[in-house]
Chain A
Amino acid sequence: MNLKTLAEKVDLDEAEYQDMIDLFLKTTSLHLIQLETAIETEDTRKVIESAHSIKGSAASLGLTGISGVAWGMEANARANNLTGAGRAVQTIKAEMERVAELVSVSSTARNG
């Protein structure tokens, strides 16, 4: 999987898609900080809100892995279950690193 293929999936050109991914990585980092605090304080409503946002924006960019994990976290939180939420945050972080790596490879390839 490379950035060009992902961009084509959502009908954007590579530069537009990279711009969106940069924005996604920034906003999701903030959501993850909020999530970690909400999990610590067992604030289910905040977990639902942040997981919901990550789920939606990841899905809109074709990042199905991140979206799926966030979906599970939101569904569990709605059922008042925060077990595994911490692990889900770690999985999302790892996925984000993978996406950031794709962006970096793509930028290097395009800019030489």
Chain B
Amino acid sequence: MKVLIAEDDPVFCRLIETKLVKWGYETVVTHNGIEAWEVLKREDAPPLAILDWMMPDMDGAEVCGKARESSQIRPAYIILLTAKDRSEDITKGLQAGADDYITKPFDDEEFQARIKVGVRVVRLQRLLSDRVTELEASLRRVKQLQGLLPICSYCKNIRNDQNYWQKVESYISEHTEVQFTHGICPECFQRIVEPELERLKKETPLSDL
């Protein structure tokens, strides 16, 4: 997975990059908030970002705020890096939209564990987003019948949107995924078919049957 690093301190930046590469992540490195924001706006923006709180031009919390306000960019999982003795930064950062924070200097195991949490959340979000897209596509395919349907009380034809009286079979076939297969119910057989057969028997000479 691709991870964005935004850190102005060259030592920290190299350290984070080295660790992430060692743990199997692909990295995109930036050195200030403006550069980080430009990367986050890209179509192929990394889904996970580690932003230092204190950076020149635009700090980590500002980048967070901009990322959360914008509806045009894909939401990234953001981890803020902050100094251990600046607990007020943590609250501000989380309020600005960060998902998590890591204090500097960080403990390797904790750092890796927090990144793994981020990866899990990103994967879950992707899964949900894919499911929603699938559902939306399915809904577009399913035709639904809703509301009032004017039907003739005698012939059972249906009045369509063009004010045309249409056979019930063709109307339902057009508006649903249903296909009709024709048969005769016992009641109609008795009421219609049998009398018709009787009539035919009577009318037709025996030699023709």
Using a CB–CB cutoff of 8 Å, the interface residues on chain A facing chain B are 10-12, 16, 19-20, 23-24, 26-27, 52-53, 56-57, 59-61, 67
Q: Mark B7-21, 1 if CB is under 8 A from A, else 0.
A: 001111011001100
Please classify the interface of chain B as helix (H, G, I), strand (E, B), loop, or mixed, using the class held by over half of its residues: helix
* Structural contact, B105 and A60, CB atoms closer than 8 A: yes
Task: State whether A16 and B11 are in contact (beta carbons under 8 Å apart), knowing that A10-B108, A60-B104 are contacts in the complex.
Answer: no
B60 CB, nearest partner CB in chain A, Å: 14
5 additional contacts, CB 8 Å, given A10-B108, A60-B105, A61-B15? A12-B18, A16-B18, A59-B105, A60-B104, A67-B105
Measured in the bound complex, the distance between the Cα atoms of B8 and A54 in whole Å is: 13
Using a CB–CB cutoff of 8 Å, the interface residues on chain B facing chain A are 9-12, 14-15, 18-19, 54, 83, 104-106, 108
* Structural contact, A56 and B104, CB atoms closer than 8 A: yes
Please pick, from B10, B19, B83, B105, the residue contacting A23 in the complex, using a CB distance under 8 A: B10
* Structural contact, A60 and B14, CB atoms closer than 8 A: no
Measured in the bound complex, the distance between the Cα atoms of B13 and A27 in whole Å is: 12
Measured in the bound complex, the distance between the Cα atoms of B10 and A26 in whole Å is: 10
* B104 contacts across to A, CB distance below 8 A: 56, 59-60
Measured in the bound complex, the distance between the Cα atoms of B12 and A23 in whole Å is: 10
* Structural contact, A57 and B83, CB atoms closer than 8 A: no
Measured in the bound complex, the distance between the Cα atoms of B83 and A52 in whole Å is: 9
* Structural contact, B9 and A57, CB atoms closer than 8 A: yes
A97 CB, nearest partner CB in chain B, Å: 18
* Structural contact, A56 and B9, CB atoms closer than 8 A: yes
